[in-house]
Amino acid sequence: MEIISLLLEEALSPYQVTLTTAGMQDECLVTVRNPADAIVVEREFDRAQLMDKRGLVDVVDCLLRDIKIAEGRLEPSVIAALRNAAQTRGAVRA
């Protein structure tokens, strides 16, 4: 997991990334802190998703989007479109 933490930190630079075990189902809590050491994003991911190359790319994309939302760098219309796209994907998978 140390290698994955380093990869996430490199991809999300200048943010600091911490991975910790969470939940009962082999999940990891990813905590992203800004350079001032304030938590910007905390999300749980399945450990298997972090171990898969494609899954890791999805995690980074998700975290980058969440960072932009948390810092107010995405317009409300973009946020609504992202939510709609996520709901549509969820309905297709179900």
Question: One-letter amino acid identity for 94?
Answer: A
pLDDT in tens, 16-62: 999 998 877 788 999 999 999 999 999 999 988 999 889 999 999 99
How far apart are the C-alpha atoms of 64 and 4, rounded to whole Å?
A: 16
Q: Which two tokens stand for residue 82?
A: 């992202």
Burial grade of 41 (CB within 10 A; 0-12, 13-18, 19 or more): buried
pTM score: 0.75
Question: One-letter amino acid identity for 4?
Answer: I
Rounded to 5 degrees, φ, ψ at 43 are -140, 150
pLDDT value of position 94: 45
Question: Which residues fall within 8 angstroms of residue 9, CB to CB, at 6 or more apart?
Answer: 15, 16, 17
How far apart are the C-alpha atoms of 9 and 93, rounded to whole Å?
A: 30
How far apart are the C-alpha atoms of 51 and 35, rounded to whole Å?
A: 26
Domain ranges of the chain: 2-93
